[in-house]
Amino acid sequence: MKRIQIIIICCFLIIAANAQTNNQPKQASDRLSAFHENTRKMPGIRNYDLQQDSYLFQRNTQKSTRILKQKMDSLIAIASFDGQTENLGKYEITYNYLGYITSYFEYEWDGNENKWMKIWKSEITYDAGWNIIQEIFFDWDMDVNQWITSSKDNYSYDEANRLVLTMGYSWELITNSWLLNFKDEDSYTANSKTTIRYSWDEQSGTWIIGFKDELLYDSEGKLLLENSYHWEPIDGFWENLHKIEYAYNASGKLETQIVSSWLSDSESWELFENEQFSYNQEGDLTVHTIFEWDDIDSQWIPYSKEENEYNDQFDFNEILVPEIFIHNELYFNHMLTKMSLYGSDFSSGAYLGNYMFYYSEIDVTDIQNNQPAQTCIYPNPATDFITIETSTITGQKVFITITDLSGRIVLTETIPAGLNKFQIPVSQLASGCYIVKLVDENQHKSAVLIR
């Protein structure tokens, strides 16, 4: 199963460079495998619809619903070895006229042919509420020169539009049928989310319990702790695997996350990795450094560094980007244009390569048959209150849900029937990015809110 996850390729670059210098950390391959297994469970843009109808940002309700935005079309990974640069990989992203992502494509560079070669693609399907319900993956077969179906993930949601079930399938070429592969079951409380993964055993025709992730949040919705476990079938209990502890700065942005691994023999936690995040005055992530724990000297040693560059002419509300960039780890307020990667000594001599991000214009239109937008939310960013003005959905109640980026509901309100202007206090929300959803019997609208 594949995902457009930049961090995975970053790991490939770093591991390759460290191997060349005979300084590869012993946990590098384990880290890559664990990270890939964790991120593969995420659908392309999850159930928080950051790519959609941005007309909600309009301050003037008389303006057209067509909003010119900058969409991220592609990113190219460029590797540096022994002072020489070469293309490594390319991702392309396609959108529909609403600004929703419809497909991903991955390519690798063929130096002999001097061109990009297809590797895989995914196609995304949504429900009427614009939650992603299916993502199908295809591999490119060079021998027959066509796409071959590989696997698919199906997603189900509860009434609050929270992901509750993921079903994974693989395509069987011999029987031309879908075979069960895995399922993830998600459950929620006021301050937590739990995901349990099962694998399908074809021989016995039963689900085999495997792993569990627990996410714990504070009262403001910030992720504080992530615990991962694996199931011990013989003794029948959950055993620790690793934990991630998150800390934030005074502005509410992620500052550090520390990963610890569980040692079964001693039944104790061992430090593993320390990630640190730095931001500029505009709130853009500028430097992301990773350190690994040295057991012998009992100290953190440098592992890698990323530096980001931005185009300040376009802020967050003026761009369309995949979900991975909105995660705390890569959060930014302006157009990301370049990410440079460095090896263990963080110097210019440890330069590994970079990512270049490319954008083009897109007219994002209304969901309901391109009708003029009659709904707006302001101010945005907000401090104390947001005001919602609407004239297209009067005559019936409007249900408002505000969630954080994990899908956790932090605020709900109901606009009584007949009102076209409603004010909601948001001062109790922590600084960060939220999704505002407005739902009535006929329409479903969403917007990103910056607090």
Residue 29 has pLDDT above 70, yes or no: no
What does the mean pLDDT of the chain come to? 78
In a domain, 406, yes or no: yes
In the predicted model, is pLDDT for residue 373 greater than 60?
no
CA distance 21 to 8: 20
pLDDT at 436 over 60: yes
pTM above 0.75, yes or no: no
Q: Are residues 440 and 325 part of one domain?
A: no
Kindly state the average pLDDT of the residues 286-303: 94
What are 284's two structure tokens?
């853009």
Q: What is the pLDDT of residue 396?
A: 64
- Domain shared by 267 and 301, yes or no: yes
Higher-confidence residue of 155 and 441: namely 155
Whether residue 294 sits in one domain with residue 435 = no
pLDDT of residue 58: 28
DSSP string, 253-278: -EEEEEEEEEETTTTEEEEEEEEEEE
pLDDT at 232: 96
What domain range includes position 442?
375-450
Highest mean pLDDT among 15-29, 273-287, 371-385, 395-409 belongs to 273-287
> Does residue 409 share a domain with residue 340?
no
Please state, in angstroms and rounded to a whole number, the distance separating the CA atoms of residues 59 and 56: 8
pLDDT in tens, 218-258: 988 889 999 999 999 999 999 999 999 999 999 888 999 99
Q: Are residues 256 and 136 in the same domain?
A: yes
Residue 272 has pLDDT above 80, yes or no: yes
Is residue 387 scored above 80 in pLDDT? yes
Is position 431 within any domain?
Answer: yes
Q: Quick one: average pLDDT of 68-75?
A: 83
Confidence of residue 349 (pLDDT cuts 50, 70, 90): low
At residue 49, does pLDDT exceed 70? no
Dist CA 398 CA 18 (whole Å): 55
* Strand extents, DSSP E, 47-145: 67-81, 84-95, 101-110, 115-126, 132-141
- In this predicted structure, the answer to whether residue 329 has a pLDDT above a threshold of 60 is no
More confident residue, 252 or 3: 252
405 & 320 share domain: no
Q: Does one domain contain both 44 and 156?
A: yes
Q: Is there a domain that residue 420 lies in?
A: yes
Query: Tokens representing 144?
Result: 């027959």
HSE-up (13 A, CA, CB side) for residue 314: 18
Q: Are residues 278 and 409 in the same domain?
A: no
Query: What is the pLDDT averaged over residues 159-188?
Result: 94
Given this model, what pLDDT does residue 183 score?
98
Residue 370 in any domain: the answer is no
Grade residue 16 by pLDDT with cuts at 50, 70 and 90. Answer: very low
Residues 379, 348 share a domain: no
**Residue 151 within a domain:** yes
Segment (H or E) for 16: helix 6-20
Give the CATH number, domain containing residue 385: 2.60.40.3080
Q: Where does a domain end: 317, 337, 364?
A: 364
